[in-house]
Amino acid sequence: MKTRKKWLFLCAACLSLTAMLIYAMAVYQPILFVAGDHIFRKDDWERIKPIYFHGRPHTPEEEERLLEQRSLEELVLYMGRQMGVRIDERIIDEHMKQLGSTKEEREQVLRQMNMTEADSVTNIRRALIGFEVKRRVTGEITVSEEEINSYYREHLESFRIPELRTIYYVRAGQADKPLMDKLKTIRAERFPSLLKEYDLEGRAGFHEWISQAELSATVGEEAAEAVFRSPIKQVVGPIVSEQWTYWFLPDEIMPAKTQSLAEVREKIYRTLYLEKESIVYGKWLEEQKRANLYCLFTENLKNNRFWAFWSDLPVRLQLLFQSHA
Amino acid sequence: MKWSKMLAVTLIVSSLAAAAPAFAEREIANEPAWDSEPAPRNFDPKKREEADKRVFDKESIRMAANPIIVIDPGHGGDDPGATGNGLKEKDLTLDIALRTRNYIVANYPATVYMTRSSDTTVSLSSRTSFANARNADFFVSMHINSATNTSANGIETYAYPGSVNGKRLATETYNQLKSSFSSHRGVKEYAYYVLTYTNMPATLGETGFISNASDASKLAQSSFRQTLATQYANGMHRYWWGF
């Protein structure tokens, strides 16, 4: 009896071992990340990967970066559930109207991105929860007048704007004698019509509110200096720059100035607010990674099933005990 | 006998560990359902019906669906921007911008405005005042580069000098877009009009050179423009979410 029992145990053990090995080699899906109660496996990633890459080639680093992004999104969603964040479906319905007023219009737009309306609704719901979590975490941030004033004083140089000009130009290649002859007698009022005539061939153009430094990068220092020295509505040229001969028409001037605090107050406020928001949210996210079960296994993108089965064992045991705790 | 018992126990525990995800993963969040408690005394089905019928005003949608993004397709109408290799900058920027807008709207609860959504002339001051009036959270201006030297190619993005968040936005979009180009010209600072006169963090992207045959042939393909649009959107996502 004793020997029979022993053999029975041995057979059961061998069968279990074989079944487990078959499972590990043929069925097991390696874990890519765990975020709170969410386990994300390789087959989940293969299913959603086309949304990220649209079939285009990508590097392993890019894939790892997107996987990490997805894992952090899941952690935020997990925290959203813990916080009791709920999303009103009517907000999603309203939002979807941006893609088209009818279902057919929306489906047509989404089809171009290999997406269905259901995919889109899921993604928007996820992001809405994420935004709500962020809003709750960063809701207490304030920016004082003193902070705005001191930022303005310390960054005054950033608020200096050089003189800007709106400039038309026409140009002829060195071998283009007919156009060169035509442009020799060009008058200011002819520039807008020449722009229409020659823009497609790259022989005429227009710079709206451009600085001297910016123009220099395009046509060279000498030409830019001449254009910025000239009064407006006067033809400047011919000026040779590389393989082109240019005629310019400065049309409007916006004098150099330093923006006042009143003009840039809103910009400074947003800069400081976003800076603080980014710090507070980043810190909170790091805390959540430590406080909740968060593990990322990017190496499992390359590992085979069998190897991943064993390397994932500690986290699987951790999950097992956590789910029964 | 002892060793076989040990082996059996180990195998059972391992098998359970392999099955652990089945216990841990849930299709539905583990939160109280409607039938877990009786309805509170102040529950009034009529009031709920009224609330359900309430029309969401634009403001409440705006608050829920943030951020507000203004996408600016460079040039347009009478201003073709750069031209070359049979392409016009104004057409390419509009196409990439519309694709970016669609991708964002399909995936994130953002409110996206465009400074132009057709081939119309829009002045620079109209573009910036449009973004400022909408109280946008950030502004992305899309352009295609051009140079007299036809070998110049690749990607660069710009931020307003000294703007911390503008630089971050420019860097995030650049990091995504650079995989579409072999020449990486960097994240630069420059006081372009649209970067100077917008109230919010802003960036200007120059995705390829229209004057370069290789960049132009890629830009002529709709699949490439879709890739650029997805990359722009992912960059904005990383900027706003922080990851």
Q: Which domain holds residue A223?
A: 163-255
- Which pLDDT belongs to residue A1? 59
Count of domains observed in chain B: 1
- Which pLDDT belongs to residue B49? 40
Q: Please tell me if residue B8 touches chain A, with a CB cutoff of 8 Å.
A: yes
Q: How confident is the model at residue B57 (pLDDT cuts 50, 70, 90)?
A: very low
Alpha-carbon distance B11 to A23, whole Å? 13
| B24, B27, B31, B37: CA torsion to nearest 10 | -120
Crossing angle of the two packed helices B89-107 and A117-138, in degrees rounded to 10: 80
Distance from CA of B23 to the nearest CA of A (A): 7
Alpha-carbon distance A173 to A249, whole Å? 18
- Which pLDDT belongs to residue B64? 46
Q: What is the CATH number of the domain that holds A240?
A: 3.10.50
DSSP 8-state symbol, B142: E
User: Is there a domain that residue A221 lies in?
Assistant: yes
For residue A59, CA distances in Å to A43, A63, B179, B180 come to 19, 6, 9, 11
Q: For the residues of A261-322, what is the DSSP string, one character each?
A: HHHHHHHHHHHHHHHHHHHHHHHHHHHHHHHS-EEE-GGGGTS-HHHHHHHTHHHHHHHHHH
The segment with the largest mean pLDDT, out of A57-61, B193-197, B203-207, is B203-207
User: Is there a domain that residue A66 lies in?
Assistant: no
Q: Which residues of B touch A20 (CB under 8 A)?
A: 11, 14-15, 18
Task: Provide ipTM, 2 decimals.
Answer: 0.71
Count of domains observed in chain A: 1
Distance from CA of B119 to the nearest CA of A (A): 15
User: Is there a domain that residue A228 lies in?
Assistant: yes
B31 SS3 class: coil
Dihedral pair phi/psi, residue B29, rounded to 5° = -60, 140
Q: Which domain holds residue B129?
A: 67-151+158-183+193-241
User: Is there a domain that residue A107 lies in?
Assistant: no
* Closest residue by Cα to residue B109 from A307, A260, A125: A125
User: Is there a domain that residue B132 lies in?
Assistant: yes
Q: B211 or A53: which carries more pLDDT confidence? A: B211
Helices (H), A139-260: 145-154, 177-184, 191-198, 212-219, 221-229
Check whether B24 has a pLDDT greater than 80.
no
User: Is there a domain that residue B42 lies in?
Assistant: no
- Which pLDDT belongs to residue A323? 63
- Which pLDDT belongs to residue A3? 81
User: Is there a domain that residue A45 lies in?
Assistant: no
User: Is there a domain that residue A302 lies in?
Assistant: no
**Nearest Cβ partner of A81 from B12, B31, B112?**
B31
Strand B184-189 to B83-84 pairing: unpaired
User: Is there a domain that residue B165 lies in?
Assistant: yes
Question: Using CB atoms and an 8 Å cut-off, which of residues 196-235 of chain A contact chain B?
Answer: 196, 199-202, 205-206, 208-209, 211, 214, 218
Q: Which residues of A touch B8 (CB under 8 A)?
A: 9, 12-13, 16
User: Is there a domain that residue B23 lies in?
Assistant: no
Check whether B79 has a pLDDT greater than 90.
no
Check whether B59 has a pLDDT greater than 50.
no
User: Is there a domain that residue A137 lies in?
Assistant: no
- For chain A, list residues with pLDDT below 70: 1, 54, 199-202, 323-325
Summarised one tens digit per residue, pLDDT across range B90-127 is: 999 999 999 999 999 888 888 899 999 999 999 999 99
- Which pLDDT belongs to residue A81? 92
Q: What is the CATH number of the domain that holds B72?
A: 3.40.630.40
Check whether B154 has a pLDDT greater than 90.
yes
Crossing angle of the two packed helices A60-83 and B222-241, in degrees rounded to 10: 50
Specify whether the CB–CB gap between B229 and B103 falls below 8 A. Answer: yes
